[in-house]
Structure 1
Amino acid sequence: MMNIRLQHDTTNVDWNLVVTILQKVGMAYHTSEIHRRAFANSHTVVFAFDGELLVGFGRAISDGEYQAAIYDVAVHPDYQGNRIGKMILHDIVQSIPSCSFILYASPGKEKFYEKEGFRRMKTGMALFVSSERMQKNGFTE
């Protein structure tokens, strides 16, 4: 039986497991040290644990007042379908309730966010470091 606990800081996070989960779900990933710094520099972080095992996470960068962007929402495949992603997403949104949120979903995952009230943007633009790869992966035109 799962006992999911949410944590709002980076204490005792296995950053190698963060990389592994991102790889398993087919999301972009970097070295464990880069992820550690990215989460440490984020306004809001949420880690989901089943007991002591990290099973999911997400983060937001924000001014804390009116704008925020959500990144790296991922749940280990063995734990998907248990509403953990929804818990993480809701926790992030509730932590900065005065903010409007933007995000880009992995292609094929848009419906998850639509069910949570997110809507497609008509004017979204992106300037990616690896623009050719992002176009090939379906993120840009």
Structure 2
Amino acid sequence: MKRNLNLIYKESIDDIDWKEVPRLLELVGMGFTDAEKHRISFENSFAAVFVFDTEKMIGLGRLISDGIRQSALYDIAVDPEYQGYGVGRRIVELLINKTPGCNFILYASPGKEDFYRKLNFRKMKTGMALFADPHRMSDGGFIEE
């Protein structure tokens, strides 16, 4: 049964309750830190999107980019109660439209790869990462070796 949604997509970091960011990331099982570090991360990003159902934050995402050739999507999250309504797809579309013509990379949470495949993302054969906490990333299923 479809809910009656009053979705608001905000592409500004002004007036964000930063305590809601780690709450939402934790809710979806993604890595999170304290609200202040998330504020700094979003402020230093090329673009950001926050989604609200009236006043409740239900989705978010951010883009890091040089604005010309390379872009990376991070922190794409949608409250599980709102998944399946196209919210995640719209977040990704809004962010990608900020840097048209760029290459885009991301790392998906294990089990979410099909969502990104539907948006035309493909696995890379040469993707490599150096994580600050490799044990956590290995335990979380993000790295193979």
Distance in 2 between residues matched to 1:114 and 1:78, nearest whole Å: 22
Partner letter of residue 57 of structure 1? L
Residue 6 of structure 1: how far off its partner (Å): 1.1
TM-score by length of 1: 0.97
Distance in 2 between residues matched to 1:94 and 1:10, nearest whole Å: 18
Tell me, what secondary structure is at the counterpart of 1:15?
Answer: coil
Give runs of ≥4 in structure 1 deviating > 4 Å.
none
Residue 136 of structure 1: how far off its partner (Å): 1.3
In structure 1, runs of 5+ residues without a counterpart are: none
Residue 42 of structure 1: how far off its partner (Å): 0.1
Residue 107 of structure 1: how far off its partner (Å): 0.3
Partner letter of residue 59 of structure 2? G
Aligned residue pairs, count: 141
TM-score by length of 2: 0.95
In structure 2, runs of 5+ residues without a counterpart are: none
Distance in 2 between residues matched to 1:32 and 1:64, nearest whole Å: 26
Question: CA-atom RMSD, angstroms?
Answer: 0.8
Q: Give yes or no for the alignment of 1:58 onto 2:61.
A: yes
Tell me, what secondary structure is at the counterpart of 2:32?
Answer: coil
Partner letter of residue 90 of structure 1? E
**2:127 pairs with one of 124, 128, 139:** 124
Tell me, what secondary structure is at the counterpart of 1:55?
Answer: strand
